[in-house]
Amino acid sequence: MAARYPITVGISTMDRPDALARCLDALLASTMLPDEVLVIDQGHAPADAVIASRASAGPPLRHVRQPPNGLSAARNAMFEQACNPVVAVTDDDCVPGADWILSIAGALQREPMPDAVCGRVLALPQDGLRTYAVSLRADTTPADFTSQTIPWRVGTGANFAALREAVLGVGGYDERLGAGSKGQAAEDLDLALRLLRRGRRIRYEPAAIVYHERQPEERRMATRWSYAHGIGAVAGMLGRHRDRFAATMLAAFGRDVLARLVRSVRTRDRSGVRQALLSIGGAIDGVAYGWRIAPAPRRGKRAEVATQ
């Protein structure tokens, strides 16, 4: 077995000190600690106290403040500023499982060697309130992806680790996508697609688990629109350059949403019907956004746009 890659964990945070504390505490209690923790803070109220109180509890803990330019900008900062060759990404509303780093390290060393690793995203336990699980990936079947495929079948951005040089080599995250941008979401899907198109191997490792915070119904409804908007935006960006994979993505997304809509109508699930309709509207609006935006500006190693 090859020597383990040193791993930096990158956590994006914005004005959620309690959630960040929960995330850090879980990470620092892991069976294998990372070699560095890098907190990218776009908040108006910096998380200095949360980070300072944990600075001596484990690996080097670095706090980087950044203007509120969106999730993609935060994740680019992680890969640009990390001191190690692997960056494992999560968010402040997530809780890494005890074996998260251990599982990522094992997946990176297993032949054939991957360039990136994704894992399961499960819901945090119910807190007694009426909340909903969002952004889950529960598949327990290991898989390697080595060619272009529907990107949301690969993994999700809150549980993602990759070789730093692989991500920087394809231009990093597109800052026109993701939370806090006009693209609203799908920065992780766009990155996964570009990695696969460059011949990079992405491994789905079910043992690498992150738990995601539940959301109230209002937030869940908002994410139905924003997630679909991001998918539509990526498809629109591809379609603008006559890339036929845009149609493939939209067809796959449309089949999934239509199946949910039909099922909800049959069971008289009004919430499900509303969510499906929000997804349809978000995707349409996203396609229009992606179609009309200009190519991404060139920024050093992160120069590639989504359609390349």
Residues 46-67: tens digit of each pLDDT: 799 999 999 988 899 999 999 9
The pLDDT of residue 127 is above 70? no
Q: Cα(61)–Cα(218) distance, rounded to whole angstroms?
A: 34
> Which pLDDT score is estimated for 25?
97
Residue 65: CB atoms within 10 Å: 12
Q: Does the structure show a pLDDT above 50 at 306?
A: no
What confidence category does residue 297 fall into, taking pLDDT thresholds of 50, 70 and 90? low
Contact indicator for 175, 181 with CB cutoff of 8 Å: yes
Q: 7-215, which class in CATH? A: alpha beta
In 3D space, the residue among 287, 66, 78 whose CA is nearest the CA of residue 173 turns out to be 78
Tell me the C-alpha distance between 281 and 161, whole Å: 32
Coil/strand/helix, residue 307: coil
Q: Where are the beta strands (DSSP E) in 82-163?
A: 86-91, 94-96, 116-123, 131-132, 143-145, 160-163
Indicate yes or no: pTM above 0.85. yes
pLDDT in tens, 232-268: 999 999 999 999 999 999 999 999 999 999 999 999 9
Give the pLDDT confidence score for residue 3 in this predicted structure.
55
Mapped onto helix, strand or coil, the DSSP state of residue 55 is coil
The pLDDT tens digits of the residues spanning 88-114 come to: 999 999 999 999 999 999 999 999 999
C-alpha 125/C-alpha 119 separation (Å) is: 18
- What is the largest distance, in Å, between two alpha-carbon atoms of the chain? 56
pLDDT of residue 129: 67
Q: Give the separation between CA 10 and CA 267, rounded to whole angstroms.
A: 42
pLDDT tens digits, 176-233: 999 999 999 999 999 999 999 999 999 999 999 999 998 888 888 889 999 999 999 9
Q: Indicate the domain borders of the chain.
A: 7-215, 218-292
Q: Write down the pLDDT at residue 126.
A: 72
Q: How many CA atoms lie within 13 A of 132 on its CB side?
A: 14
- The residue count of the chain comes to 308
| Distance in angstroms (rounded) separating the CA atoms of residues 38 and 79 | 10
